[in-house]
Amino acid sequence: MGRLICISNRIPSGPNPSGGLVVALHDTIKETGGIWIGTSGEIVENPENRLREINDGPFRRMAFDLSEAEQQNYYFGFSNQVLWPLFHGRTDLLEIHAEYLDGYKEVNRRFAKMLMEVIRPDDRIWVHDYHLIPLALYLRQLGATNRMGFFLHTPFPNPITLEALPNAGDVCEWLANYEVVGMQSERDARAAIACLTEVAEGREMAGGFVQLGARQCRIAAFPIAIDAQEFRSLAEAQVDRLPSGVIKPERQLIIGVDRLDYTKGVPQRFKAFGEFLARHDNWHRHVSYIQISPPTREGVEAYDNIREETEHLSGWVNGQYADIQWAPIRFINRPVPRETLAGLYRAAQIALVTPLMDGMNLVAKEFVAAQNPEDPGVLILSQFAGAAEQMEDALIVNPHDIEQMATAIMTALAMPLQDRRRRHEALMDVLLSKDVAWWSKGFLTALG
Ligand code: ADQ
């Protein structure tokens, strides 16, 4: 069997890289003598056109550096101010500039050339995420005949949304150069097939195959997952280790955990919690909401705006309802260690996971895995998270409907133990049978 070459924008960093994706692919990379390749995270004046070995980890990694202009155009520009908002349906936030697209293509071309020095014909190549969609096309133009798969971690838009991009047809052609295109959900797989057939005039065939020009690719859903066993053990070990004062016996706890991103629906959540407090005086002082949201992509205007909006709204709710013993919302703008997160999930009675649009959303899965099965908390989940396709036993809400979310908070707080247990058991069954090993095996089997 050939090696697995795993490619993502950033290589997993440090001597002990963690995270679901790394854990899932680590073994296969090692067993096949494979390599993880991507950017190093370092910005230099004159980047070398050569992949260098990163020698400090448990599996083989190679990386290259970006210049400041590449970082601005490829990463902050086309990836994060064009593709990210576009794929999440936020066409109002698109920043269309020729230098962004040129920079994006140029980094992908440069990367493809460097890869040609490293890959062998029988390697399987698995490319991750929206930063690197054109890679297969450029590798093929340089003569690569490898089997190549692509997995998109974000949602994929429908044709009318994709057409907001002046070069919408290119995106379809880029995708068609992979043998397998993996999406997070059936929703996204259907959208991608619709784009390849309607925007680019491809022909749909049975089994999710699409013919576009001389290329044929298969588009299917491979919902990403977590190591639920491992996360459950992590949470169990944290039961008595949370810092004192975090949990108060007389108070119920609501938790939200998201990178500070406009797709996550945090302002709507703050409004819904405010609405809940306005409706239920008797719950004042008996419930607190901790929202943990470290900033990302700082310096991009849309991210500065979401920070301001969320700060304003949490301040408003607290100003309205706090007293000297109680602040309804604790809004924390920094990352929290994974173990502490696991402990907080387990201590919470409710998780609010209400993105406006999300490829999957792993926080929903982590929260469920962390619960005590004897006395589990309730997951309130957006219908627009990819996770909602698998997690039907959550309380499913429309994140635009503030009143419905306020009602769901009350429903969750009042939910009888039996009902909570039944829902948790059903959700846990999904997480244990469809874990991250199931996900990577499914994709790699499809790739062949
Ligand atoms: P994200 O948009 O980053 O991922 P998500 O799936 O929720 O969203 O994953 C976030 C991860 O970061 C979780 O493991 C979470 O525990 C961790 N995290 C979040 N906030 C944190 C904090 N404050 N401190 C520490 N850790 C924190 C993208 C897509 C998703 C898709 C994933 C995986 O947008 O839809 O599910 O990739 O494919």
Neighbours of 273 (CB within 10 A): 27
Q: How far is the CA of 198 from the centre of ligand 1 (A)?
A: 32
| 234 and 196 Cβ atoms separated by less than 8 Å | no
Query: What is the per-residue pLDDT across 53-80, written as a single tens digit (0 to 9) for each?
Result: 998 778 899 999 999 999 999 999 999 9
CA nearest ligand 1 atom 28, residue: 153
* Closest among 14, 74, 3, 62 to 38, alpha carbons compared: 62
CA–CA distances in Å: residue 166 to residues 1, 79, 158, 163:
41, 15, 15, 7
What the block records as the tokens of 350 is 């409710």
Ligand 1 within 6 A of CB of 435: no
Question: Vertex 245, ends 240 and 250: CA angle to 5°?
Answer: 90
Is 131 among the catalytic positions?
no
Is 393 among the catalytic positions?
no
Looking at the CA of residue 19, tell me the nearest atom of ligand 1: 14
Tell me the C-alpha distance between 168 and 153, whole Å: 19
Q: Which of 153, 258, 424, 435 is catalytic?
A: 153
| 215 and 248 Cβ atoms separated by less than 8 Å | no
Query: What is the per-residue pLDDT across 245-265, written as a single tens digit (0 to 9) for each?
Result: 788 888 999 999 999 999 999
What the block records as the tokens of 397 is 């809400």
Query: What was the pLDDT predicted at 327?
Result: 96
| 273 and 254 Cβ atoms separated by less than 8 Å | yes
Ligand 1 within 6 A of CB of 23: no
Quick one: how many helices (H) and strands (E) in the chain?
16, 16
**Phi, psi angles (nearest 5°) of residue 257:** -140, 110
Is the pTM higher than 0.95? The answer reads yes
Ligand 1 within 6 A of CB of 359: yes
Q: Which of 261, 358, 393, 435 is catalytic?
A: 358
CA nearest ligand 1 atom 37, residue: 153
Q: Where are the beta strands (DSSP E) in 202-360?
A: 203-204, 209-212, 215-221, 252-257, 287-292, 329-332, 350-353
Query: What was the pLDDT predicted at 26?
Result: 83
Q: Which residue, chain included where needed, has tokens 């980094």?
A: 107
Looking at the CA of residue 336, tell me the nearest atom of ligand 1: 24
ipTM of the complex: 0.98
Residues of the chain predicted below pLDDT 70: 18-20
Tell me the C-alpha distance between 245 and 28, whole Å: 43
Mutate to test the pocket of ligand 1, among 86, 257, 290, 333 (most ligand atoms within 8 A of CB): 257
Looking at the CA of residue 364, tell me the nearest atom of ligand 1: 7
Mutate to test the pocket of ligand 1, among 331, 363, 391 (most ligand atoms within 8 A of CB): 363
CA nearest ligand 1 atom 24, residue: 335
Ligand 1 within 6 A of CB of 358: yes
Mutate to test the pocket of ligand 1, among 361, 368, 384 (most ligand atoms within 8 A of CB): 361
Ligand 1 within 6 A of CB of 227: no
Query: What was the pLDDT predicted at 293?
Result: 96
Looking at the CA of residue 359, tell me the nearest atom of ligand 1: 35
Query: What was the pLDDT predicted at 119?
Result: 97
Ligand 1 within 6 A of CB of 22: no
